[in-house]
Amino acid sequence: MDWRQVINQKELQECVTCLKKNGVIVFPTETVYGIGANALEESAVNKIYQAKNRASDNPLIVHVSDKEMIKQVAKDISEQEQMLIDAFMPGPFTLIVHKKDCVPHNVSAGLDTIGIRMPENRIAHKLIQEAGIPIAAPSANISGRPSGTNMQDIIEELQDRVDILIDGGECDIGLESTVVKVVEGIPTILRPGKITAEQIQRVMGKVDISKKIFEKVKKNEKVDSPGMKYRHYAPETECVLVIGTRKEQIEKINLEIAKKKERRIAVIGFEEDKKEIQCDTYLTIGNRDELDNMMKHIFSLLRKVDQMELDLVIIEGVKQEGIGLAIMNRMIRACEYHTI
């Protein structure tokens, strides 16, 4: 069904009925698509884990349509948490809070907290509001793969695994929400996203970034956010991330290509570097000063490279500031910590 232009009431009601019968629906949000089900029904939530092949110790985000619905699932909201809610919801932002008992243990993967998020996307909002139930939803992808940001990418992977897919066109942002938890009075970023550390600092006066966002987590290590432990966002094709100044990046890439002449290599890089890099397959990701563009298209591009029969993909990195922090957090994982 196509809801890009208008929300058709009949189709909306079909989705609501499906959710109420504990079905599973792929729906658009402004960040990435989600695989959603009734967050208050354990059996419905189990179907999400099955659809994604997701590890049972990686908790899901609970999506709500308004502040009233937050109260239905969360308790003991502190003053600081309320400030974050007021400043950044609805939007590409997830806050970790204490959960109420009505939220089944498989949503939180046994933790006493849950992530709450209020999507701004019109279809997502309408769906949750009409259903009148909070929707548990991880990103729409088989675990480990790049998140789905448009229907073409998702349909093959998930159509046999869910009851309904709603096509909402290409996601505006393209990378998952910023995940924040208030830890000892300090808003702490567990996963960077479109809402930046700078924005949170401006509102809250302070902000911390979990050191773990760039570290490889050891097996069995205790982490703030279980999602940090897993292989993530990765294409099948081997990828390497290039860091350094622009000049250094170009030199490193040309050297890498020269070293590996017999290998089929593609470069994902910026428009302005194209002329200086000697690679037949140069996939441009916009200009260096258009990081929103990179953010929006990178997951889809990472999926495409798997269809190109390549041996190696070389990705130009960006500065770890502003939304660059989120881009680098995902790229470092897509490259399985392989940087040059």
The listed partner (Mg ion, ligand TXA, none) that binds 269, CB under 5 to 8 Å by sort, is: none
- 57/22 Cα distance (integer angstroms): 21
C-alpha distance from residue 62 to each of 34, 96, 127, 334 (Å): 11, 10, 14, 25
* Closer residue to ligand TXA in complex, CB, 109/279: 109
Q: Which residue is nearest to Mg ion (CB)?
A: 139
The listed partner (Mg ion, ligand TXA, none) that binds 87, CB under 5 to 8 Å by sort, is: none
**Could you list the residues that contact ligand TXA (CB under 6 A)?**
29, 31-32, 34, 58-61, 94, 96, 108, 111, 113-115, 117, 137-139, 176-177, 179, 190-191, 225-227
Instruction: For the CB of residue 36, give the shortest distance to ligand TXA in the complex, in Å.
Output: 8
* Closer residue to ligand TXA in complex, CB, 183/308: 183
Asked if 52 and 154 count as a contact pair (C-beta separation under 8 A), the reply is no
Beta strand 208-209 with 25-27: parallel, antiparallel or unpaired? unpaired
* Closer residue to Mg ion in complex, CB, 94/249: 94
DSSP assignment string, 178-232 = EEEEEETTEEEEEE--SS-HHHHHHHHS--EE-GGGSSPPPTT---SSGGGGS--
* Closer residue to Mg ion in complex, CB, 139/300: 139
Number of helices (H), then strands (E), belonging to the chain: the values are 11, 15
Instruction: For the CB of residue 201, give the shortest distance to ligand TXA in the complex, in Å.
Output: 21
- 119/126 Cα distance (integer angstroms): 10
Report helix, strand or coil for 60: coil
* Closer residue to Mg ion in complex, CB, 127/175: 175
C-alpha distance from residue 65 to each of 11, 27, 72, 314 (Å): 19, 14, 11, 40
Q: What x-and-dash track marks residues 102-141 binding Mg ion by CB under 5 A?
A: -------------------------------------x--
Q: Residue 325 has which token pair?
A: 């922090």
Query: How many chain residues touch Mg ion (CB under 5 A)?
Result: 1
Q: How many Cβ atoms sit within 10 Å of the Cβ of residue 260?
A: 13
Instruction: For the CB of residue 255, give the shortest distance to Mg ion in the complex, in Å.
Output: 34
* Closer residue to ligand TXA in complex, CB, 190/328: 190
* Closer residue to Mg ion in complex, CB, 38/139: 139
Instruction: For the CB of residue 1, give the shortest distance to ligand TXA in the complex, in Å.
Output: 19
By 3-state DSSP, what share of the chain in percent is helix, strand and coil, each rounded to 5?
Answer: 35, 20, 45
Instruction: For the CB of residue 179, give the shortest distance to ligand TXA in the complex, in Å.
Output: 5
Beta strand 74-75 with 34-38: parallel, antiparallel or unpaired? unpaired
Q: Which residue is nearest to ligand TXA (CB)?
A: 227
DSSP assignment string, 109-158 = TT-SEEEEE----HHHHHHHHHHTS-EEE-BSSSTTSPPP-SHHHHHHHH
| 329 sits near Mg ion (criterion: CB under 5 A) | no
Instruction: For the CB of residue 247, give the shortest distance to ligand TXA in the complex, in Å.
Output: 35
Instruction: For the CB of residue 238, give the shortest distance to ligand TXA in the complex, in Å.
Output: 23
- How many alpha carbons fall within 13 Å on the CB side of residue 52? 31
* Closer residue to ligand TXA in complex, CB, 61/328: 61
Instruction: For the CB of residue 316, give the shortest distance to ligand TXA in the complex, in Å.
Output: 24
Site for Mg ion in 139-178 (CB under 5 A): 139
Q: What residues line the site for Mg ion (CB under 5 A)?
A: 139
